[in-house]
Structure 1
């Protein structure tokens, strides 16, 4: 009986594996990554096809909210604030909805991105930005719905959408000059506390120059007003590696005090365990 049960289990398992048949999606998923100036943009959407059907005014009714693709939300994300039609759209991820009309489309950036299709309860409070763009007629039909980021410039680009014989292009501006100047000023100001900490951490973890690691972590602490507990934790480990167990214990105590203030019990525990170990020698 036991052998029969095992045999049945194997047969069922094999049938289950074989039953997982993969078939092509009717609206395949697509992802676009594009950098404009210094701003990263990502678009994720599904691409329905016309397949001989009339699209706008039929499959996609005029004047009604459209998911702008198929299946789950079409989403777009910006790594920086952008300007659209003179209005600021904050950096982040948005659902991209549209309302196609004859001669124009409304484009809507919506804060909630986890809907299947359009929201069950669309609320204006979730609209981050709304704009209207002119619709252009195409002489050659586009079979599959297509989104692109085109006509790139250092300071702007166009979000383009096309399907059937309709196309729209929405200009958005990116803060390239502001970001570049900020990067230049940061570089000219020299390394930050975080840069020194990262350098010290790398040298410690890679068994590099321990004296240089100590100098870097000291510099990181010197530049930090709040003396982060993870900075002092690294310093204590470096001191212990240098053979300065007494100094390591004192620094670990500083790390414990800061970690308790931040309610980070993991670092409290790690430091106490290290102090116990260093106190034995």
Structure 2
């Protein structure tokens, strides 16, 4: 019995010694993953709050390098080469710093991403690109420091920085078009499927490329699908025909898409097709 009591007392002492108080971090860590075109972008940063403090020009002084957040330096990782302000950044991880000022910021992509905040010694040779970005005043305070991915297209996105009443944006261009065109070329020189023809045609339509080529590809896709052609495929065929100046062909395809979407009970495509048919004078 004495041995049991001694064991229980020892365990209690160990648990007491090892116990730790856990509290929330004042600047919580955030990890954001965003697909921009075909490029994977990962952002890692910590998010301080205003807490009734004056931020820019006070807590964050003007004219000095800032870690763009709190705690460890902010990191951004690209899965492909990208361009920022016309300068190519190779695939990999970069630290992002900023030099805030009253009317514009310098936003810096730094090749050494393993700093505990700011580098112990700043090295200009590690500045991959420095962008001068205009400030856009906001009508309200942003309490928590926030970095976003805005204005996403197939070929670009804007890294948005928001805090206090400030928004700063840095455009990042990605090589989607080169990658897609290379993929299309490789597949078309091999054995393309109906889906390959469809995807290539829609891409050409959306990106304003050779519409005659898009028309050839969409026709092949629909022919290969036969009576299994789906209403969304027929919808794209109608848009490609309209873009190519073949109004009669566009109307015919839209009517087929309308009938198929009504049968499928898809109200969105029913409306889209009816709107197009009205626009083209067929309803």
Equivalent residue for 1:241? Answer: none
- Please state how far the C-alpha of 1:190 moved relative to its aligned partner: 5.5
Equivalent residue for 1:162? Answer: 162
- Please state how far the C-alpha of 1:7 moved relative to its aligned partner: 4.2
Determine whether 1:96 maps to 2:86.
Answer: no
The 1:177–1:12 alpha-carbon spacing in structure 2 relative to 1, beyond 3 Å, is same
CA distance in 2, matches of 1:101, 1:89: 25
Equivalent residue for 1:45? Answer: 45
CA distance in 1, matches of 2:38, 2:117: 31
Equivalent residue for 1:139? Answer: 139
Query: Where does the alignment leave 5 or more consecutive residues of structure 2 unmatched?
Result: 192-283
- Please state how far the C-alpha of 1:10 moved relative to its aligned partner: 0.8
Deviations 1:45-90 (A, max 9, x none): 1000000000001100000000000001110011111111111111
CA distance in 1, matches of 2:31, 2:48: 14
Determine whether 1:15 maps to 2:13.
Answer: no
CA distance in 2, matches of 1:73, 1:24: 20
CA distance in 1, matches of 2:172, 2:80: 12
CA distance in 1, matches of 2:6, 2:130: 62
Determine whether 1:120 maps to 2:137.
Answer: no
- Please state how far the C-alpha of 1:12 moved relative to its aligned partner: 2.6
Deviations 1:126-163 (A, max 9, x none): 11111111011111010010000011111111100010
- For this pair of structures, how many residues does the alignment match? 190
- Please state how far the C-alpha of 1:21 moved relative to its aligned partner: 2.5
Equivalent residue for 2:269? Answer: none
CA distance in 1, matches of 2:82, 2:183: 18
Equivalent residue for 2:237? Answer: none
Superposition pairs of residues 1-281 of structure 1, within 5 angstroms: 6-17=7-18, 19-188=19-188
- Please state how far the C-alpha of 1:23 moved relative to its aligned partner: 1.1
* 48-57 vs 116-125, which moves further: 116-125
Deviations 1:218-256 (A, max 9, x none): xxxxxxxxxxxxxxxxxxxxxxxxxxxxxxxxxxxxxxx
- Please state how far the C-alpha of 1:3 moved relative to its aligned partner: 6.4
The 1:7–1:190 alpha-carbon spacing in structure 2 relative to 1, beyond 3 Å, is farther
CA distance in 1, matches of 2:83, 2:178: 13
Equivalent residue for 1:264? Answer: none
